[in-house]
A and B are shown apart, each in its own frame.
Chain A
Amino acid sequence: MAGGQERILRRRISSIEATKKITRAMELIAASRIVKAQSRVQAAKPYSEKVTDVIANLAGGGAGVDHPLLTPADEVTRVAYVAIAADRGLCGGYNNNVLRAVERAIAADQSLDRQYALVLSGKKAASYFSFRGYEVHAAYEGFSDQPNYSDAKAIAESVADLFESGEVQQVRLAYTRFLSMGSQEVTIDQFMPLEASEIGADGDGDTGGGGYEFEPEPAEILSRLLPRYAEARLYAALLEGSASEHAARQRAMKAATDNAEDLKTNLTRIMNRARQDAITTEIMEIVSGAEAMNDDGDDGGLDEAITQSLEGSLAALVSDRNDA
């Protein structure tokens, strides 16, 4: 019977409505977190700028640039990748874009006979690579939507160990740069060895008039400072990643909410047609029933009675439909 179909449609619509409420809530949450994540990106800037200043001044003061973190290897045989993705899905292509870029870079390295080492941040990164049979050196998770400096520190330390022990000769950092609300971009930067020119340690930096006193020796300060610089840079990447994650999630959830709305409109239309069909069928049944009875006799009084009962049935049918 047609009423059954109508009931099924009604159930589907209410389930779509429930889903829409969830995606809408996730969209709003993500939107509010983008702002917070962006302000954290801004708040982290003074520290890394100051660290860069101090390094430039140290280099100007003759610190020399022979720190292991600054020394490129003669030959690169193994490259470490730090991939920054999210702990959760439901954020469109955010995770896959970064992870695929890393996978491609590894493939390119392998064609040059270079091995890889993976240091991953985010649950999705770990499951992506372990599912595809990659060997994962270290995986960190549980902080992708709100990373702390201590998280960056832990990752930077494990990477610096790899690099300074000579196990890898290069470290590259893959993350999603947050350009604006509407645009984020996957980037793979060289992370180690640190480039002397980038941090102003090539002696061309602003030496602030020089004449600095140092305590202890400049070289020793530099050796303490460079790991902090690496941490600050990784921290900045984690923060950019989290801002991008929230932006991607907001977009994905907005699209899902819009789709649910469309689906609901279509299904409501189909349901109304089904309801209309059901009513028409029932009227036809009643009318043909009445006709059949009318054909039996030729008593005018009976005709009257049939018309009344027909009107009664129709009224009941309409009020029944309105209640539903």
Chain B
Amino acid sequence: MQVELVSPEAVLFSGECSQVVTRTVDGDIAFLDNHAPFIGALDIGQTQLWATDGVISLAINGGFVEVSGNAVTILSDGAMAAQEVDPSEAESDLAIAEEALASDADDQDAANAKKWAETRLRVAATV
């Protein structure tokens, strides 16, 4: 199936994939060829694309996915390939977020920042 990963600034990936695994706000979901039409909101999490030349691992900071007519479109304004992740930056972001959460456990922004930092670290570990 044809897969496109589109950010507001550019088309980041466009190509043929055998499988796509991503995470919607309700949980992980995988798409194989000829999946039924689907629209979902993406959570902060890891997305993997089984492209013809290997598996591409990405950290996605929220977005949307649409599947129709054997094509998957992922829209995200925060997508980062595993190679682009700076683990030390993610570590320090994680520390800052945890500190904020320790003083205010209900801080939604800090919770998201923590999740995003953890996702980046997990994706970086796959390289």
Contact = CB atoms under 8 A, between A and B. Distances in A.
Interface residues of B, number: 24
A57 B41 contact: no
Q: Is the interface on chain A under 10, 10 to 19, 20 to 34, or 35 or more residues? A: 35 or more
Contacts of B68: 57, 208-209, 212
A58 B26 contact: no
Contact of A50 (B6, B26, B69): B6
B37 A212 contact: yes
User: 5 closest pairs, A vs B, by CB?
Assistant: A215-B40, A149-B8, A212-B37, A43-B10, A47-B8
Interface stretch (A170-178, A227-235, A315-323): A227-235
Given A54-B39, A149-B77, A215 B8 contact: no
A211 B11 CA distance: 27
Interface stretch (A217-225, A251-259, A298-306): A217-225
Given A53-B66, A149-B77, 7 more contacts: A211-B36, A214-B39, A215-B26, A215-B40, A216-B25, A224-B41, A228-B75
A240 to B, nearest CB: 14
Contacts of A311: none
Interface of A: 40, 43-44, 46-48, 50-51, 53-54, 57-58, 61, 148-149, 152-153, 208-216, 218, 220-221, 224-225, 228, 231-232, 235
B7 interface: yes
B73 interface: yes
Interface in B26-79: 26, 29, 36-41, 64, 66, 68-69, 73, 75, 77
